[in-house]
Structure 1
Amino acid sequence: MAPKSTTLTTLLCLAAIHVCNVIQYVLAAQTATTPDFKIPPISDNRTISIVNNCSFPVYPAVLTTNGTGPYTTGFYLPSKQSRNIWVGWDWSGRLWARTNCTFYLANATTSVKIRDVVDNFTIPDGQKLAGNCLTGDCGPAIQCQLSGLAPTTLAEFTMTGWMKQTFFDISLVDGYDLDMKITPFHDSPEKPRVNNTPICVASTTLSSPLSGTDLYQNTLNESFTFNTIHRWCPRQNLLFDSQKGKQSVFPYPDDNDPTIGGGWTPCLSACAYTQSEWDCCTGKHDKAETCGPNLYSKRAKQVCGDAYSYAYDDYLSTFAVPSVKGEGFEVMFCPGGVSTNILKTVLGSGSSNGLECWGRWLWLSVIVILGLLVSGL
């Protein structure tokens, strides 16, 4: 077992991966390139299949922070449909789904609505695109140029990092709105890398339907009742006070209304809710020693063990697979099933292969150190 001081150093280094990614998003967003949509996939590109397994349509969005981005940064995706995008081997960025979106053409000067639109349209002279989304909104645009507003569940990627590894994670640092699964596969979807497939399922309404007395067994070896699962979000962090009577895919779990069925509104992270230095790990709390898990992050980690829950989350949040030709990924919204806790199971204190696990901690630490040197931080 490693000394406590070594363990602390490792945790600090690994947690910095996520902080560096956040900084990278801010610095690189304006310089990212997006190839022409006519460019076909080539052998050294990476395929990302975006699947909408939800019972409602969404607008997936893509933000490129480095390298060659996809031919699109946002589009309409009906329920039970999928769409492939291709990114370069050097790509870093994030994916998310915008929900409850309404877009329409309006008069450019008076803003009077002319007609609703979905996708694949031309904006005539004298008109403009207007509208917004309930979660993940990036302004009145189907093609996003900015990151989505919180709360939103994120899929984050660095396609070719140190040692030619692809790093990816599910992040709840900006909050939660949809369940998500990331599946890496080599050569074809028929060859998934199952041991590197994180799943975050935190809403019974959007994933596996349960009755009020059923137990929900997840991979944390804890049984949650129906009420526990849909009330993990601290009440003050719910995006809306009430959704009763509103048309939304997020009905509110009114304590006195059994007809709601267990849904709830999206959950703001502690940082998004308070914007304080403590919750955001900024200012005098910009180090792991001075920024710890808050109520939101503890509860988020309880229901989604493989997801990032705050900036200095522990090392059990980042996945890696070899970055090679033919490597692809599937990002699925509303996958159903249960959350995974793969990294804790394989790499945690209960692992039967401690030397192999510790070796991984060491090279992951080197990744962070090299990244800090290159970026000049």
Structure 2
Amino acid sequence: MSEAGGVASLLVLFFHVLVFSGVVDSATFTILNQCAYTVWPGILSNAGTPQLPTTGFALQPGQSNAISVPASWSGRLWGRTLCAQNATEGRFVCVTGDCGSPTVECSGSGAVPPATLAEFTLDGANGLDFYDVSLVDGYNLPMWVVPRGGKGGNCTATGCAADLNAGCPKELQVDTDGGGASVACKSACEAFGDPQYCCSGAYSTPATCKPSGYSEFFKQACPTAYSYAYDDGTSIFTCASADYVITFCPSPSSSVKAAGDPAPTSNSSAPAALIALQTSASNRTRLRSRPFVAPMALAAVWQLLQLLSI
């Protein structure tokens, strides 16, 4: 092969590497705390999915954190509340949503119920993201998920914007000091361990496990959230190539109108930070990362330079 032909071949290789090698779509999860108190988000990847670079951190009121999530990621996200460093053991502990980790990072551990969960499977069947907000493991704080910039699927906002702790049935309440103030609301399964509430044993199929009075309490307050294990029809949503804004304690302007709820107010009453996040997300397509490009591209460039120096 001539020198010119070799140079041309290497140039073709170089551009093929840049264009085709290791290009991975990713989504951005913008996690926003609109609560009047600190929330410590926790993140758990499902089995077979690598853990994200961060699995736990603190968000002060009004703060947000944007995380790049790789394509085909699946896992869950939740909020921890009433957290502190244990003075005697030096462990990081939370009253609700604790993940059992001694540090702020959950490092592969999930939430101890009760906890409100946002669940995601990105780039699933037909290239769609599947997502939901689940109260199957109980509830500890309001959470809302809004897809932005998506194309395909229904791309519906979902979650539970209601404060369920105040109206939680007495037998489901988590009352830490006996004063009657509930900081979380258990599922009936956790509270009683009965198979009919847990959809287990003889109740392990959609035909045998039906909504209970307790699951209806969750469903009536939060119509688009999972209220029990087989609540798929009204609780799972799809979108494609979207970014997601996950808000703790959403204001009416960041949620959608549910049956019987007053209409949301305009965005003019929303915090400036939320407006900026939503505008940014709606104008953004999926980020592109090339984790495997650099080594191959550098090798091609080095070979090209060697030929040119001859």
| TM-score between both structures, scaled by the size of structure 2 | 0.69
Distance change >3 Å, CA 167–CA 152, structure 1 → 2: same
Q: Alignment partner for residue 142 of structure 1, among 82, 85, 104?
A: 104
Deviation at 1:69, TM superposition (A): 3.6
3-state SS, counterpart of residue 55 of structure 2: coil
Per the alignment, residue 92 of structure 1 pairs with 74
**Alignment equivalent of 1:291, drawn from 189, 195, 209:** 209
Q: 1:289: Cα distance to partner?
A: 1.6
Match of 1:203 among 155, 163, 177: 163
Distance 1:204 1:268, change over 3 A: closer
Q: Secondary structure at the match of 2:35?
A: coil
Distance 1:157 1:296, change over 3 A: same
By how many angstroms is 1:131 displaced?
A: 3.2
**What is the CA distance between 1:277 and its match in structure 2?**
1.2
Q: Which runs of 5+ in 2 are unaligned?
A: 1-22, 260-310
Q: Which residue of 2 aligns with 1:59?
A: 40
Q: Distance in 2 between the 1:203 and 1:280 partners? A: 23
| Residues 99 and 110 in structure 2, CA contact (< 8 A), matched pair in contact too | yes
Query: After superposition, what is the alpha-carbon deviation per residue over 1:228-285, rounded to whole angstroms, capped at 9, x for unaligned?
Result: xx32x221100117653xxxxxx72xxxxxxxxxxx4310011111122111101111
- Secondary structure of the residue aligned to 2:52 is coil
CA distance in 1, matches of 2:258, 2:234: 9
SS in structure 2 at match of 1:61: strand
Task: Tell whether 2:74 aligns with 1:82.
Answer: no
Map 1:271-290; keep pairs closer than 5 Å. Answer: 271-290=189-208
Q: In structure 2, what is the Cα distance between the partners aligned to 1:132 and 1:71?
A: 21
Measured at CA, do residues 195 and 300 of structure 1 come closer, stay the same or move farther in structure 2, by a change above 3 Å?
same
SS in 2 for 1:288: coil
The residue type paired with residue 214 of structure 2 is: Y
1:72 corresponds to which of 44, 50, 54? 54
Contact 2:155 2:237 survives alignment (8 Å): no
Q: Which amino acid aligns with 1:328?
A: D
Once the two structures are superposed, residues 110-165 of structure 1 have per-residue CA deviations (whole angstroms, 9 ceiling, x without a partner) of xx46xxxxxxxxxxxxxxx4131010001223111211111110000000111110
Partner of 1:267: 185
Q: What CA distance in whole angstroms lies between the structure 2 residues aligned with 1:200 and 1:143? A: 25
1:195 Cα deviation (Å)? 5.8
The letter of the residue matching 1:203 is D
Distance in structure 1 (CA, Å) of the matches to 2:197 and 2:170: 17
* Bigger mean CA deviation after superposition, 88-97 or 282-291: 282-291
**Equivalent residue for 2:146, pick from 183, 193, 207:** 183
When normalised by structure 1's length, the TM-score is 0.57
Q: Note the C-alpha offset of 1:57.
A: 0.7
Q: Which residue identity lines up with residue 130 of structure 1 in the other structure? A: R
Q: Which residue of 2 aligns with 1:301?
A: 219
Instruction: Name the CA shift for 1:186/1:80 in 2 (closer, same or farther; >3 Å).
Output: same
The CA RMSD over aligned residues, in Å, is 2.5
In structure 1, C-alpha distance between the alignment counterparts of 2:177 and 2:162, rounded to whole Å: 19
Quick one: distance in 1 between partners of 2:49 and 2:186? 30
CA displacement 1:49-105 (0-9 Å, x = unmatched): 11111111111000000434421111111111000112211100000000000025x
Matched letter for residue 95 of structure 2:
L
Partner SS, residue 290 of structure 1? coil
Offset of residue 43 of structure 1: 6.3
Q: Is 1:328 aligned to 2:243, yes or no?
A: yes
Q: 1:314 to 1:158 in 2, by over 3 A?
A: closer
> Residues 177-202 of structure 1: CA distance to partner in whole angstroms, max 9, x if unpaired?
11111011128xxx9x9961113122
CA contact (8 A) 2:75 2:120 kept: yes
Question: Structure 1 residue 204: deviation in Å?
Answer: 7.8
Distance in 2, matches of 1:130 and 1:158, equals 31
Identify the match of residue 136 of structure 2 among 173, 176, 181: 173
Deviations 1:158-178 (A, max 9, x none): 001111100000100000111
CA distance in 1, matches of 2:138, 2:191: 9
Q: Which amino acid aligns with 1:75?
A: F
CA distance in 2, matches of 1:314, 1:44: 27
In the TM superposition, residue 293 of structure 1 has moved relative to its aligned partner by: 1.0
Candidates 156, 176, 187, aligned match of 2:119: 156
One-letter code aligned to 1:329: Y
2:94 pairs with 1:133: yes
